[in-house]
């Protein structure tokens, strides 16, 4: 059974490239949301195997979305990988301190994205 991934990012291009990459390279089922609020609703409906979550979004940013996902029993167990362009050590530490499964950086390599996600989450069957 293919992995189910939810991509939450306000940038259409990032969502499309990531989704195409994960579907084509890994054969995963991908669902997309353009905001934190929409992502929370989709996460509750779909219960994906993992969530790829953008840090910088208007209205509800990634860390706020992550905390909201963690506060809900139905989504609290889903591993979340933050996707960010911020590469400063202080930012990385702040993101890691949230309790996310991993932090990945933009721009990402579309051909390696599935492998990087699988490695970060310990999915050895990929």
Cα–Cα dist 33/42, whole Å: 7
Indicate whether 124 belongs to any domain: no
Indicate whether 126 belongs to any domain: no
Indicate whether 125 belongs to any domain: no
CB 55 within 8 A of CB 63: yes
Please count the structural domains in the chain: 1
Partners of 42 in beta bridges: none
For residue range 58-103, what is the model confidence (pLDDT) as tens digits?
A: 999 999 999 999 999 999 999 999 998 876 767 777 777 888 999 9
pLDDT at 98: 86
Indicate whether 89 belongs to any domain: yes
- CATH code, domain carrying 93: 3.40.50.2300
% of the chain residues with pLDDT over 70: 93
pLDDT at 125: 61
Indicate whether 75 belongs to any domain: yes
Indicate whether 107 belongs to any domain: yes
Partners of 29 in beta bridges: 4
Using DSSP bridges, classify how beta strands 50-54 and 29-33 pair: parallel, antiparallel or unpaired. unpaired
Domain span at 95: 4-119
Enumerate residues 6+ apart whose C-beta is below 8 A from 5: 22, 28, 29, 30, 31, 48, 49, 50, 51, 52, 117
pLDDT at 96: 74
Q: Is residue 126 predicted with pLDDT exceeding 50?
A: no
């Amino acid at each position: 059974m293919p992995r189910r991934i939810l991509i939450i990012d306000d940038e259409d291009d990032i969502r499309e490239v990531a989704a195409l990459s994960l579907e084509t390279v890994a054969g995963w089922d991908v669902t997309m949301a353009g905001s934190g609020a929409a992502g929370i609703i989709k996460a509750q409906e779909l219960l994906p195997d993992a969530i790829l979550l953008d840090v910088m979004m208007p209205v509800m940013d990634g860390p706020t979305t992550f905390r909201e996902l963690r506060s809900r029993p139905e989504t609290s167990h889903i591993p979340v990988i933050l996707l960010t362009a911020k590469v400063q050590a202080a930012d990385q530490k702040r993101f890691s301190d949230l309790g996310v499964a991993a932090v990945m950086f933009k721009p990402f390599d579309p051909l390696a994205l599935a492998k990087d996600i699988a490695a970060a989450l310990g999915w050895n069957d990929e």
